[in-house]
Each structure stands twice: as structure tokens, then as C-alpha cells.
């Protein structure tokens, strides 16, 4: 066993050393009183968007007193300029404010929700999308986004599964890097780059029973092998800030957790940026039963390594007293203040506090035609074709279609949750409008049929009539946008309301017509019934401002679908948690006899999901062949090259996401049955073949075995496929 050096120790003290701002931060801090330093660690909401419980605060008064360092939920040049003016012109030292906002999947031009973005497996496109979001947000005065959310999520009941990159460590880590690079760009002092924030540190996605904010308890192997790596990936590409999670981790709430913030984030990973709490999370240490009162909570948080207090008022009210009573070392406040000032210097705010407040730029940047076009392309790239019997898709421009369902003409839900400053009142393009680009109105027979929720079936008859008049039926259904996102967990993951009944009614009325189900939803749904009713299913998540165009491009074949699931779709709620890289157990079911007694299975449903991780069809077909390895055995300093030939054997040109999986057969702790270790998105014309190669180094096989990071010699299986649903046929040894 090789014990590897993943835990490099770095200096703990935040330091502006090595940056051009060192001396500047130091001389500014020499002028600051303790209260002014504490002020930098305080953040309040301007209330323009509501992203947490209402907390009243006298913002303007506090800003003028130098008691606030940052604001959230404020945007626009006019709005931010006014608040910035108070900080710069009416305080003793004129230290500029930092404006943070939840720019999660777009600012005004809204891209598909993040789970959908992950389904593109397209790192370049994700980076480009977050670059566009940064362009727009920065033009409206925003310096900092509370994104990306890099929480691994394996429970579709959890509403915030919509906001992350799904269930996989490798995919999630690559996507985390793409977001950070997109937001922060290559130079933070440019007026179009913003600070990114890796959140929520850590384990938030593992909330018990998928209930938001619920308890998290897991082994340190799972924490380090699954939940920490996307955060480490964000640090590796220079993410400037971190946000604490609301949950506890193994009994210690994240916001008071020294182990994760001081030992792991600062000491092991060498993170130099600053840490903000989640909304009122310091005060919540009291409800957690971890702090006696808010003052005690304040002490615990700063000692755990938290720099800025979002909305608790805790630092403002108690830090000074805690210092005077000798309970908190003033050095901790200096450290926090220094880190926050450094970020402000990096953004160039001391040179020009209004550099993000340019009216002309604001006018030019927001909803730029090229941004809307990029969002359209991304919406197409994120759509996942789950099923397509008898070539129900693509649609033909000569056919008449019945367009049915509560989301067919919707322009509000289509933006999804966390739609930042996106316009839900009409700016978005509905699927109906998208389809109008391809079909004249006389070929579209529309009927809403039913609402998303509720029992009303009075629209069924009209929907049936529409279906009878058409050649094919397109049903646009799903969830309301606010059925996912924060505090939006569900115990039922079926289509809500009477939507499934409507599909059944249409199926009965037109048994021989193709039914195409177009879905918008923020989580994996239980689609077992729909799978038996619809000929084709296209998962579009919530596709954003230009979503209707992008979805129509896929429906009519202008874009050949290439999305792959970043998360498993179960057959039924009872299978949760279900994800592709589970462990084998001591009693796995034999593939040829899944009903054998005393095995790890259910007596009522198979162990397999309805749609596996990595699954996604195309209008064409791809064949994988001739897998070759550069050797049967590699040493600790070698690299293995694995290559495969992928051929487009169908009738359309198209993209394919080629996925590399391994299985570490024996370990000092058990290893998952499959692990994604690489992917490449390629384009193949019909009939074309390409050789696709991956390099794998021993470092890629590393894991944490509860004592150390190790790379263990032994046998590994390997495969390169277009889905996670396959049996291994090849292997190699690590010596
Ligand atoms: C609470 C959410 O958990 C967090 O993700 C968000 O950034 C903050 N509110 C600020 O809106």
C-alpha cells in the first residue's frame, strides 16, 4: 500500500503574503478599530430577493457606522451604487461593501437548472454559461456569487438536488472547477469577474430522509471519498470563498465545526479565501443544541474558522464583548477581517468602489442576444432522451401535433428554482413558442388538460379531442418550480396532481398514436408508470429563459440529444438511496437468478433503477468496440492508456459522452462496484468512427481508507461505455 500525500499541510494564518495587496491590507488594518474590523465580518440582506427568514436590520444605519462589510440580495447599478456610496463616503475609513447574490444558473438570462447543466457533461459549456452569468451579474453591481453548490446529492426527495451536479464524485468535481473558472475568470480585478463560493461545506446533500437541513451522519471514508472532493476541486482552481452548511456533520453543526474548516479546509487544503456562514447559521447553533445562546454560538463559529456572518447579527452583537471577556482572541477577528479585505482588494474595489456600477454596461450586458442564444443551445444540450420507441422522435414538420399539458405554454416555471433576477413574468420562451418556430399554428392543437397540482380533471375532454385531431401527442408536464430548491423536499417523487391520469386518458383515447412526454422537474422522478404509457420521454429539467427554443430544437432534430443523466432515476421511492456506485455487499444478487433467497434485494422490485446514471439516448446509435489497454499491469509511476473505438451506426450526426469506469476489486476498505474516472464528449458524423483514449494514473485510483489516503496495488476492472449500465469485461493490475 502506498500512503499518498493528499493531506499537505499549509500555513494556517490567512495572509495577503505573495499578493500585491499585503502591505495595503496591513496598513488599512492598522487604522481600524476593533468594531470596524468586526464590521467587515457582518453581512445583511437588502431584501430585494428573499432567500431566507425575514430578519429586520437597519441596513443604512449600520452601513454608515461601518458595522457592515457585505450585503446580499441587492442588485442593479442604481441600488448598489447608493449603498456603496454610504459605505465609501459616509464612513470613517470608506471601506467599500461587497455585494453577494445567488447567481446559481444565470443572473437574468437563465440557463437550465444546475442538475440539467450537469446532464450536458459539457465542461466548456458550463464554464461559458457561468462566464455569461458573471458578465450579467457584474454589470448589475454584483461582486460575488453564492455558487457553485457542489454538494453531492443522492436523494431525490431533497429539493436542492436540483441545484447541484448530481450523484457522482468525479463528474461533480469536474463541474465544480468549470463553474469556478467561469465565474472568477482569469483576473478578479476585471469588472466582469466575480468571486465564486463553494457551498455548502459540507455534507448538506446527505440530509437524512432527504429532508432539508436534516441531520448528517456518515463515516469519514464516505465524507472524504464522496462529499469532500468537489470542494477540494474548487480549492484547486482557486475558489475565493466557501459557505458553511446548515446541517450538522457527525454531531457537530458545520458552522461550528473546527474539523472541517480549520483542519481540512485551511490546514490540509491550504485554502486562503474567506468563509461565510449560510443564512442565520450562527444563531442556529442554539437550535441545534450545540450552543447555549447566541453569544456562545458566536464564539464557537469564529473559533471554528468562520469569517463572515450572514444574517445572524451575531458578530455585530457579541464579538467585541467576547474579546473583552477574553473568550475570543482578537487575532481571530484580525484573520477574518484580513481575508475579507483581501477579497475586496482583489476585486479592485479599493481602486474604484463603483467599478461594477456602470449604467452603460448594465444596459448592454443584460439579456444580450448572444447570451439568449447560448442559453438556447445549452437547453438543447442538457435535454436527456430517456426513451424513444419506434422513433417517436424527432418530430416531422409535416405532422400535426397535439400540444398538451400544464407546462406547454408556461413561462414562469420554466426558469426553475433559484432563478436569480430572471423574469418570471414573460421574458422566457415557452415550449409552445419554441414549437411555433417549426410548425405553423394550424398544425398545433393546444389543450392544457390539467394543472400541475390539484384534482381538477375538467380539461381532460378537450385534451382528448386535441389528441384525436393530431398525428402525434406532445405532453409537457412536471413539477412547479418551487417544488424543488431550498426547503422544498418531497416524500412523493411522482408527477404531481392528475398529470399521470391525463396521460392514461390520452393513451386510452389514441392507443396507436405516439405520445411524447416532455418533462420539466427539479429532481429525478418516479416515472415507472409514465415509462409504460409514453413512447418517448425527453427530460428537459427546467430549461431556462430560452428553454422553449432549445427544447423544440431537440424535438425537431435540429439538435440531436446528447444529454446523459448525472443522477439515477429510481423505479420507486422505496429504492432510495440508489446510485450507480454502490457497494457490492456480502450477498449480492446473482445476475442470472435475481430472486435467489437470502440475497441483498427487494422482494417486490428489482435492485436496478428505471434509468441509470450516465444513460441518455440519441437519435442515432453508437457502437463501442475494440477496447485496448496499454498494458495488463502498471507500476506506481506508470500511466495506463485505455482506448476504444466509437462508431456512429445510425442515421444522424451526433454527440456522444464516452465514459470511463473502473472497479477496484479488493481494498483495505470496500470499494464501489463502479467508479467514473473520466469522460469525453465527442461528435461523430453518421458512419464515422473515432478512437477515444483516456489516461489513468495510480493517483486516480486513490481513496481514503479511514486512516490515510492510499493507492493500493491489485486488480481493477475497466470499461469505456456510453452509460453506467454494463458488465465489465476487461481488467488490469496495479503493482
Ligand atoms: C440560504 C441558502 O442555503 C444558500 O445556498 C444561499 O446562498 C443563502 N440562503 C443566501 O441566499
pLDDT at residue 18 in the model: 55
C-alpha cell at 121: 457533461
β partners of residue 403: 446, 474
β partners of residue 216: 249
Distance of CA 692 from the midpoint of ligand 1 (Å) = 40
- Residue minimizing CA distance to atom 7 of ligand 1: 146
pLDDT at residue 47 in the model: 85
DSSP classification of residue 354: T
Average pLDDT rounded to a whole number, residues 159-179:
98
Q: Rounded to whole angstroms, how far apart are CA atoms 374 and 384?
A: 18
Residues with Cβ within 8 Å of residue 169, at least 6 apart in sequence: 152, 225, 226, 229, 230, 675, 676
Q: Ligand 1, from 46, 279, 281, 309: best to mutate by most atoms within 8 Å of Cβ?
A: 279
Q: Ligand 1, from 101, 163, 243: best to mutate by most atoms within 8 Å of Cβ?
A: 243
Q: Where are the beta strands (DSSP E) in 480-586?
A: 514-520, 536-539
* Predicted TM-score (pTM) above 0.95: yes
Average pLDDT rounded to a whole number, residues 149-153:
98
Residues with Cβ within 8 Å of residue 197, at least 6 apart in sequence: 100, 144, 145, 146, 147, 148, 239, 240, 241, 242, 243, 276
Average per-residue pLDDT in the chain?
Answer: 96
Q: What percent of the chain has pLDDT over 90?
A: 95
pLDDT of residue 15 exceeding 50: no
Q: Is 278 a catalytic residue?
A: yes
Residue 537 pLDDT level (bands cut at 50, 70, 90): very high
Q: 651-660: b or e for each residue (b if 16 or more CB lie within 10 Å)?
A: ebbbbbbbbb
pLDDT at residue 12 in the model: 41
Q: Ligand 1, from 278, 282, 283, 420: best to mutate by most atoms within 8 Å of Cβ?
A: 278
Average pLDDT rounded to a whole number, residues 602-612:
96
Average pLDDT rounded to a whole number, residues 414-419:
97
Q: Residue ranges of the domains in the chain?
A: 377-573, 622-734
Residue 84 pLDDT level (bands cut at 50, 70, 90): very high
- 294-304 and 314-324 helices cross at what angle (nearest 10)? 80
Spatial CA neighbour of 80 closest among 181, 597, 376, 88: 88
pLDDT of residue 431 exceeding 80: yes
Which atom belonging to ligand 1 lies closest to the Cα atom of 204? 3
Q: What percent of the chain has pLDDT over 70?
A: 98
pLDDT at residue 52 in the model: 87
Distance of CA 576 from the midpoint of ligand 1 (Å) = 26
Q: Where are the beta strands (DSSP E) in 397-467?
A: 401-404, 444-447
Distance of CA 122 from the midpoint of ligand 1 (Å) = 26
Which atom belonging to ligand 1 lies closest to the Cα atom of 163? 5
Residues with Cβ within 8 Å of residue 324, at least 6 apart in sequence: none
* Beta strands 730-734 and 714-721, pairing class: antiparallel
Q: Rounded to whole angstroms, how far apart are CA atoms 142 and 426?
A: 24
pLDDT of residue 168 exceeding 60: yes
Q: Catalytic: which of 278, 309, 410, 535?
A: 278
pLDDT of residue 10 exceeding 70: no
- Residue minimizing CA distance to atom 3 of ligand 1: 278
Reduce the DSSP state of residue 198 to 3 states and report it: strand
Cα dihedral: 444, 447, 452, 455 (round 10) = -160
Which atom belonging to ligand 1 lies closest to the Cα atom of 199? 5
- Residue minimizing CA distance to atom 11 of ligand 1: 51
Residues 230-247: pLDDT tens digits?
A: 999 999 999 999 999 999
**Ligand 1, residues at Cβ distance < 6 Å:** 51-52, 72, 102, 146, 199, 278-279, 486
Which atom belonging to ligand 1 lies closest to the Cα atom of 146? 7
Distance of CA 241 from the midpoint of ligand 1 (Å) = 14
Distance of CA 316 from the midpoint of ligand 1 (Å) = 20
Compute the half-sphere exposure of residue 362: CA atoms within 13 Å on the CB side of its CA. Answer: 16
- Residue minimizing CA distance to atom 4 of ligand 1: 278
pLDDT of residue 39 exceeding 70: yes
Q: Quick one: fold of 377-573?
A: Rossmann fold (3.40.50)
Residues 668-726: pLDDT tens digits?
A: 999 999 999 999 999 999 999 999 999 999 999 999 999 999 999 999 999 999 999 99
pLDDT at residue 628 in the model: 98
Distance of CA 384 from the midpoint of ligand 1 (Å) = 28
Residues 348-379: pLDDT tens digits?
A: 999 999 999 999 999 999 999 999 999 999 99
pLDDT of residue 4 exceeding 60: no
Distance of CA 421 from the midpoint of ligand 1 (Å) = 15
Average pLDDT rounded to a whole number, residues 279-289:
98
Distance of CA 246 from the midpoint of ligand 1 (Å) = 10
Which atom belonging to ligand 1 lies closest to the Cα atom of 149? 5
Average pLDDT rounded to a whole number, residues 394-411:
98
Residues 181-198: pLDDT tens digits?
A: 999 999 999 999 999 999
Q: Quick one: fold of 622-734?
A: Immunoglobulin-like (2.60.40)
Instruction: Give the phi and the psi of residue 517 in degrees, each rounded to 5.
Output: -100, 120
Residue 3 pLDDT level (bands cut at 50, 70, 90): very low
CA angle 100, 102, 107 (to 5 degrees): 105
pLDDT of residue 51 exceeding 90: no
pLDDT at residue 486 in the model: 98
pLDDT of residue 16 exceeding 70: no
Q: What is the CA radius of gyration of the chain?
A: 26
pLDDT at residue 689 in the model: 98
Q: Ligand 1, from 486, 487, 488, 489: best to mutate by most atoms within 8 Å of Cβ?
A: 486
Which atom belonging to ligand 1 lies closest to the Cα atom of 147? 7
Average pLDDT rounded to a whole number, residues 625-639:
97
Amino acid at each position: 500500500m502506498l500512503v499518498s500525500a493528499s493531506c499537505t499541510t499549509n500555513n494556517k494564518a490567512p495572509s495577503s503574503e505573495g499578493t500585491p495587496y499585503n502591505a495595503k491590507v496591513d496598513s488599512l488594518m492598522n487604522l481600524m478599530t476593533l468594531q470596524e474590523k468586526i464590521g467587515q465580518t457582518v453581512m445583511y440582506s437588502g431584501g430585494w430577493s428573499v432567500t431566507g427568514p425575514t430578519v429586520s436590520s437597519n441596513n443604512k444605519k449600520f452601513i454608515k457606522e461601518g458595522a457592515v462589510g457585505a450585503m446580499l440580495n441587492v442588485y442593479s447599478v442604481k441600488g448598489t451604487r447608493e449603498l456603496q456610496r454610504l459605505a465609501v463616503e459616509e464612513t470613517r475609513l470608506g471601506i467599500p461593501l461587497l455585494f453577494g447574490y445567488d447567481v446559481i444558473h444565470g443572473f437574468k438570462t437563465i440557463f437550465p437548472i444546475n442538475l440539467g447543466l450537469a446532464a450536458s457533461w459539457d465542461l466548456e459549456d458550463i464554464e461559458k454559461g457561468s462566464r455569461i452569468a458573471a458578465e450579467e451579474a457584474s454589470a448589475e453591481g454584483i461582486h460575488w456569487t453564492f455558487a457553485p453548490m457542489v454538494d453531492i446529492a443522492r436523494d431525490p426527495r431533497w429539493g436542492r438536488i436540483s441545484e447541484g451536479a448530481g450523484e457522482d464524485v468525479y463528474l461533480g468535481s469536474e463541474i465544480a472547477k468549470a463553474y469556478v473558472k467561469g465565474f472568477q475568470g482569469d483576473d478578479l480585478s476585471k469588472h466582469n469577474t466575480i468571486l465564486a463560493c463553494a457551498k455548502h461545506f459540507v455534507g448538506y446533500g446527505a440530509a437524512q430522509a432527504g429532508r432539508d437541513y436534516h441531520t448528517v451522519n456518515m463515516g469519514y471514508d464516505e465524507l472524504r471519498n464522496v462529499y469532500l472532493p468537489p470542494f477540494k476541486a474548487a480549492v484547486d482552481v482557486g475558489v475565493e470563498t466557501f459557505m458553511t452548511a446548515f446541517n450538522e456533520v457527525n454531531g457537530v453543526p458545520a458552522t461550528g465545526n473546527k474539523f472541517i474548516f480549520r483542519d481540512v479546509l485551511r490546514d490540509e487544503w491550504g485554502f486562503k479565501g474567506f468563509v461565510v456562514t449560510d443564512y442565520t447559521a450562527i444563531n442556529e447553533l442554539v437550535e441545534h443544541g450545540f450552543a447555549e445562546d447566541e453569544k456562545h454560538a458566536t464564539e464557537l463559529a469564529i473559533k471554528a474558522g468562520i469569517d463572515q456572518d450572514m444574517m445572524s447579527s451575531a458578530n455585530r452583537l457579541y464579538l467585541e464583548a467576547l474579546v473583552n471577556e477574553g473568550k475570543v482572541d482578537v487575532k481571530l477577528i484580525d484573520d477574518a477581517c484580513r481575508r475579507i479585505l483581501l477579497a475586496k482588494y482583489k476585486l479592485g474595489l479599493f481602486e474604484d468602489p463603483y467599478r461594477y456600477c456602470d449604467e452603460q454596461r448594465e444596459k448592454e450586458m443584460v439579456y444580450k442576444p448572444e447570451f439568449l442564444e447560448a442559453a438556447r443551445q445549452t437547453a438543447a444540450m442538457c435535454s436527456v432522451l430517456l426513451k424513444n420507441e419506434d422513433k417517436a422522435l424527432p418530430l416531422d414538420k409535416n405532422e400535426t401535433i397535439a400540444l398538451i399539458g400544464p407546462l406547454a405554454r408556461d413561462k414562469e416555471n420554466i426558469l426553475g428554482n433559484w432563478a436569480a433576477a430572471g423574469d418570471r413574468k414573460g421574458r422566457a420562451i415557452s415550449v409552445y413558442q419554441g414549437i411555433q418556430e417549426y410548425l405553423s399554428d394550424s398544425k398545433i392543437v393546444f389543450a392544457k388538460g390539467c394543472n400541475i397540482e390539484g384534482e381538477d380533471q375538467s380539461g381532460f375532454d378537450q385534451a382528448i379531442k386535441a389528441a384525436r385531431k393530431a398525428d402525434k401527442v406532445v405532453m409537457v408536464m412536471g413539477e412547479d418550480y418551487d417544488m424543488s430548491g431550498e426547503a422544498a423536499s418531497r416524500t412523493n417523487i411522482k408527477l404531481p396532481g392528475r398529470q399521470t391520469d391525463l396521460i392514461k386518458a390520452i393513451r386510452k383515447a389514441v392507443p396507436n398514436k405516439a405520445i411524447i412526454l416532455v418533462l420539466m422537474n427539479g429532481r429525478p422522478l418516479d416515472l415507472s408508470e409514465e415509462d409504460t404509457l409514453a413512447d418517448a420521454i425527453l427530460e428537459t429539467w427546467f430549461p431556462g429563459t430560452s428553454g422553449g427554443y432549445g427544447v423544440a430544437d431537440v424535438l425537431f432534430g435540429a439538435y440531436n440529444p446528447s444529454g446523459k443523466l448525472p443522477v439515477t432515476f429510481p423505479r420507486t421511492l422505496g429504492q432510495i438511496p440508489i446510485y450507480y456506485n454502490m457497494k457490492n455487499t456480502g450477498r449480492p444478487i446473482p445476475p442470472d437468478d435475481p430472486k435467489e433467497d437470502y440475497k441483498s434485494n427487494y422482494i417486490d422490485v428489482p435492485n436496478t433503477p428505471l434509468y441509470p446514471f450516465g444513460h441518455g439516448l440519441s437519435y442515432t446509435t453508437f457502437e463501442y468496440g475494440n477496447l485496448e489497454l496499454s498494458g495488463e499491469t502498471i507500476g506506481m509511476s506508470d500511466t495506463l492508456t485505455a482506448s476504444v473505438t466509437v462508431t456512429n451506426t445510425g442515421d444522424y450526426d451526433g454527440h456522444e459522452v464516452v465514459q470511463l469506469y473502473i472497479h477496484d476489486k479488493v481494498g483495505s476498505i470496500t470499494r464501489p462496484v463502479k467508479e467514473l474516472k473520466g469522460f469525453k464528449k465527442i461528435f461523430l458524423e453518421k458512419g464515422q468512427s473515432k478512437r477515444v483514449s483516456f489516461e489513468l494514473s495510480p493517483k486516480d485510483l486513490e481513496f481514503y481508507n479511514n486512516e490515510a489516503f492510499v493507492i493500493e496495488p491489485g486488480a481493477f476492472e475497466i470499461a469505456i461505455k456510453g452509460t453506467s449500465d454494463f458488465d465489465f469485461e476487461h481488467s488490469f493490475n496495479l503493482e
